Amino acid sequence: MNFNEWKNALLNEDNTLLGRSGLSEWIPLNELRVPTDRTPCSNEFIFDIDSNEYEPSLNLAKNLEEFSTTYSIPFLRFSSGRLFHYSVFFDKTISIPDNNMWKTYYSERIITIQMVQSFLKDFRFSLFKMLTELIKPVENACFDYQVMYSKHMIRMEGAKNKETGYFKSLLTELPEEQPKITFDDVKYPEKIEHWSIPDDILIAVYNEYMKENKGRSFEQKKVILSAKYYSFIEKIHETPFRDGRKRVVDLLFIPYCKQIMKWDVHHSLKWIREWLDRSYALEFSRHPIYDYNITQKFNNSNLIPLSKKNIPIHFNEDDSEIFEVLSE
């Protein structure tokens, strides 16, 4: 394939894809001639490997490929000069073997389109999370869940990574050294293969999901599922910190309040300020975080909080307090 053929192949998978060029607004991908970013397809799992070093990311990539080969999961391997990004496309039509699924899942009398869409999104993420947990872990490398949990963007295949100066390309093999792909060397997949997800995997995910959520209302399910996954943030909030406060607020607290707990800016500000006041009581900062800083970032933030696995990527050894809390 060339660039336009690949773009058409993606639109054939999901004609609702959005794209953008640079920092422009998001518009339908088919209206863009040369997009730099796109949203993931609705039937696409994104395994985005995150690490500060190349070797751990390479080892996790090898484990992912070994797992995928063992279970006959077709994948596409990409890089834009830093680490690795894998796409797995699955069959668009999935039949979950339970005729009473909606009746047993929802306690409301009226089932809205929003409820169905939310269930499918959460179920898809639960399936993705289960797959990542089955892949042998590697120290100092992890999968970035943000790409799959929210309506996130990924770099368009063939686009330039401004940080590395190289282009995102299909990799026909896993390189032992960091790939450096120029525009002329960019490759695209020949075709998109689909994974037919086995019934036993679907049943296992569905049963676990049902067990955790049966009998709860729609809004309760959304908050409880997310809050349970991010319960470690509440532990962090209980402990005042001397160092790393700004990153805790920006990468954990603000996204947690806005995206997970669905609090408004006033309630969120009060919750964050309570932790900051206790932290400043330990040791005052020369560069304190003011309310208007929090409010502005809250209003502009579309991030979800860092996962527990991703914290070592964004916090260093000097931030010992956060690692002490997480180890308890």
Tell me, yes or no, whether 224 lies in a domain. no
Q: What pLDDT, on a 0 to 100 scale, did the predictor assign at position 231? A: 81
Instruction: Count other C-beta atoms under 10 Å from residue 307's C-beta.
Output: 19
Of the three residues 150, 183, 200, the one that is the final residue of a domain is 200
Tell me, yes or no, whether 217 lies in a domain. no
Of the three residues 200, 221, 249, the one that is the final residue of a domain is 200
Total structural domains within the chain: 2
Tell me, yes or no, whether 220 lies in a domain. no
Q: Are residues 278 and 321 both part of a single domain?
A: yes
Q: Are residues 196 and 235 both part of a single domain?
A: no
Residue 125, both tokens = 């993420």
Q: Length of the chain in residues, anyone?
A: 328
Residue 261 DSSP one-character state: S
Q: What is the pLDDT of residues 226-250, one digit of tens each?
A: 566 778 898 899 999 988 889 899 9
Q: What are the helix and strand counts (H, E) for the chain?
A: 14, 10
Confidence of residue 65 (pLDDT cuts 50, 70, 90): very high
Q: Are residues 89 and 235 both part of a single domain?
A: no
Higher pLDDT, 222 or 266: 266
Q: Are residues 252 and 193 both part of a single domain?
A: no
Q: What is the pTM of this model?
A: 0.63
- Residue pointed to by tokens 């394939």: 1
Q: What is the pLDDT of residues 244-284, one digit of tens each?
A: 889 899 999 998 888 888 888 888 999 999 999 888 887 77
Confidence of residue 326 (pLDDT cuts 50, 70, 90): confident
Q: What is the pLDDT of residues 107-118, one digit of tens each?
A: 444 555 565 566
Q: What pLDDT, on a 0 to 100 scale, did the predictor assign at position 174? A: 94
Conformational region of residue 243, where left means phi above 0, alpha means psi within -120 to 50, and beta covers everything else? beta
Confidence of residue 198 (pLDDT cuts 50, 70, 90): confident
Percent of the chain with pLDDT over 90: 36
Of the three residues 152, 182, 200, the one that is the final residue of a domain is 200
Q: Are residues 7 and 142 both part of a single domain?
A: yes
Confidence of residue 305 (pLDDT cuts 50, 70, 90): confident
